[in-house]
Amino acid sequence: MVAIDNLVTGSVANIEALFGRRGFAFVEHDVSTYVWVPGDVDAVMHLASPASPADFERIPIQILKVGGLGTHNGLGLAKAKGARFFLASTSEVYGDPLVHPQPETYWGNVNPIGTRGVYDEAKRYAEAMTMAYHRHHGLDTRIVRIFNSVLADEQVLYDDGTELRRETIGELARRVGDNVALEGYCVPAFDATGRVDAAEAIALVGHPPTGPCFEVRTRYGRSIRVTGDHSLFVEDQHGRPSPLPVSSLKVGDRVAIAAQIDVPTRDRTNVSMLDVWSSAGGDPWRLSLTWPGLGGQVWDHRQELLGYLESAFPGQDRRSRLWPRVISSRDRDMLTLAEVRRMGFAVPAKVAQVRLRSGGPSARMPLHIDVSDEFLWTLGLWVAEGSWQVSDHNSFITISGEIGLLERAAKVFERDLGLHTVWAPASVQRAASIFVHGQLLIRLMEHLGFGGNRKRIPGWILGLPLARLKWFIEGYRCGDGVHSGKKFEEGIRHEFSTTSTELKDDLVVALARFGICPSVGRYETTVKQRTGERRYPFWRLTLCNVDPWSPLEWDNGVDQGLNARRTGDLVWAAVTEISEIEPDGLVYDFSVPGRENFWAGTGVMAHNTFGPSMRPDDGRAVSNFLVQALRGEAITIYGDGSQTRSFTYVDDEIRGFLALLDSDITTPVNIGNPTEYTISQLAEMAIEVTGSSSELTFEPLPVDDPTRRQPDITLARKHLGWEPTVELREGLERTAEYFRGVLD
């Protein structure tokens, strides 16, 4: 079973009991845009539509779309899958009826331009389209008339089963497709307690934007770009996350950002230079390997090697060219990667080295590079204070900074990578620097995720265990953090700086791994000694009130004092700006069963009948009267209270649904309670079952509000063997008990 809802009026809490059951999945999605379910489908049940009078003026366009486009999409899915289609229509198709009770043959009395018309006409259109598919395509349909569900260039954080990735959702879609099932993917998502951990993402859903799009900015420098009908999570009166469409969001509202995340962790203890060379598409004849004793192996297999060289280089003279090459390989303990593979020699990883095969000297590096804590520290320092330069004859990386830091980094290059460092002393214009030459070193840096001299934190580092990630953070702190002066001495706060927007966002993710929520700001500075008054923009991440202060202790737990409320791992950040922006192509959502929220933008958590689980602000008589009675408020009756309704308890309604679904009836069938009650009788019964002392008050009857609604259930009784069994009083007692728990 797959349940689809965009949660514009619903709540995941209503179906929590189903999560974990075999075969059940939940997808947060708006069926007005597109709907697809992989695999076989037996039946498509289209129950979607906001039905509360409170929604008729709030979201009229969405109501019309789900009745029209949503029905069309559901019918298309059923047709493609050869499935039965079930439409949940409503007694609203009868409008303000002139016939009582209303049989299915009655055509109704509907005002198409009144405020209720968006709901009434949407249901009438849905029925017409369903019958058209039945007659024209031969689709197996059922209709029940009941009497009373991120922009492409916005970034996301996810794990694809190999490493943690932070990129735009459009980039992900270009690799995997616009509307695809996902396997092995997970995203940071929060549960009912606000704890953020790794939750399974089962689909990536793309669809055209259906309205205006917005960029929402909040405190702590977080932002997100979404469609207006996409929801963010605001803090309700109980401090719990509640989805709210961005179109309804206001400056000053507090939305959920993630202060701490839990992701799949993978350690990386070494890197093979053979993998480095292969991933770069390197020519195996240009990379040489050497280890003690290789020359003896070459000599023992000299005839086989000579024969291979003759086939690899036809036309070359055996005596003057190929034989001297074999002799040189023996004397130097060295062969190319192509020759080692062809000869099938086992490579001793601990002692083997690699070098580029060239006419002149080239640096040797260990075959296996240990990714030690100090190596991670050096990478962090390089991201903060380093760069590289590549040319045909001179490729090197460089790091600038304090002498003590450079000595520590030089030791890693020389001890762990076997490379020589060259020093440049400090001058008035620049700090001291070290230079490390080698084309293979550049290839290694590219393989580790720093291609193109890119300043960022690669996904494999972001997903390291905290005890290892802290070393990279400490290296970066030593380069671009506060490591001198009053702030350092007193441990007041950290300030991490960078000119790179990409690196700034990576740092937000890395710090969230430890449960730290930095404040991010955009600033400018000048370097008057070098460029006068020219201004240079940069990002600053400020971490106040962090205990312990040293990043090397953060893996044991961090306390951070924030001037904001928290719910679990979520921080409530005030919205500071909402601006309309132009959409670009498709917009996307992850489907996250059981959670329906995920990290997007720069850490904002993005979203995608009477009886228990009704909304307290539903706007219908049952919920209004029970809530007002439980609160001791006056019960508001619109009109004189003589208008009648039929009330069907949700358990009876579902029994009717299933009976119709299993039947052979393709035309509409009324499912409702033929026993009529006046609105005044309902109000008095609500007072009785709640033990309230509320009084009745009367207001004018709204335009188009029907004066009488009573179903004729002859068809249901005759062909389905169905009729309601739960009396109104019993149903109200059950529903009142639910509302007591919600309102407490």
Q: What is the pLDDT of residues 664-704, one digit of tens each?
A: 888 888 888 877 778 888 899 999 999 999 999 888 876 65
Residue 34 in contact with residue 66, Cβ under 8 Å? no
Among residues of the chain, what percentage have pLDDT more than 90?
Answer: 47
How many Å apart are CA 336 and CA 66, to the nearest integer? 65
pLDDT tens column, 554-570: 999 999 988 899 999 99
Minimum mean pLDDT range among 427-431, 526-530, 625-629:
526-530
Tell whether the model's pLDDT for residue 409 goes beyond 60.
yes
CB atoms within 10 A of CB 54: 17
pLDDT tens column, 497-535: 899 999 999 999 999 999 999 999 999 876 555 555 677
pLDDT value, residue 149: 29
pLDDT tens column, 170-208: 899 888 887 677 889 999 999 888 999 999 887 787 766
What's the rounded mean pLDDT across residues 467-484? Answer: 86
Q: Directed axis angle between helix 60-81 and helix 117-137, to 10°?
A: 20
How many Å apart are CA 551 and CA 474, to the nearest integer? 6
626-645 core/surface letters (b: 16 or more CB in 10 A; e: else): bbbbbeeeebebbeebebbb
Q: What is the mean pLDDT of the chain?
A: 86
What's the rounded mean pLDDT across residues 318-344? Answer: 92
More confident residue, 421 or 231: 421
CATH superfamily of 31-149+611-743: NAD(P)-binding Rossmann-like Domain (3.40.50.720)
As assigned by CATH, the class of the 155-259+567-607 domain is mainly beta
Give me the CATH code for the 371-561 domain, please. 3.10.28.10
pLDDT tens column, 291-300: 999 999 999 9
What's the rounded mean pLDDT across residues 407-420? Answer: 95
More confident residue, 707 or 325: 325
pLDDT value, residue 600: 93
Q: Which residues are CB-contacts of 165 (< 8 A; sequence separation ≥ 6)? A: 157, 158, 159, 172, 459
Q: Which of 622, 597, 593 is nearest to 681 (CA)?
A: 622
CB atoms within 10 A of CB 577: 11
pLDDT value, residue 578: 95
More confident residue, 33 or 585: 33
Task: Tell me the domain boundaries of the chain.
Answer: 31-149+611-743, 155-259+567-607, 270-368, 371-561
* Helix ranges (DSSP H) in 526-596: 528-531
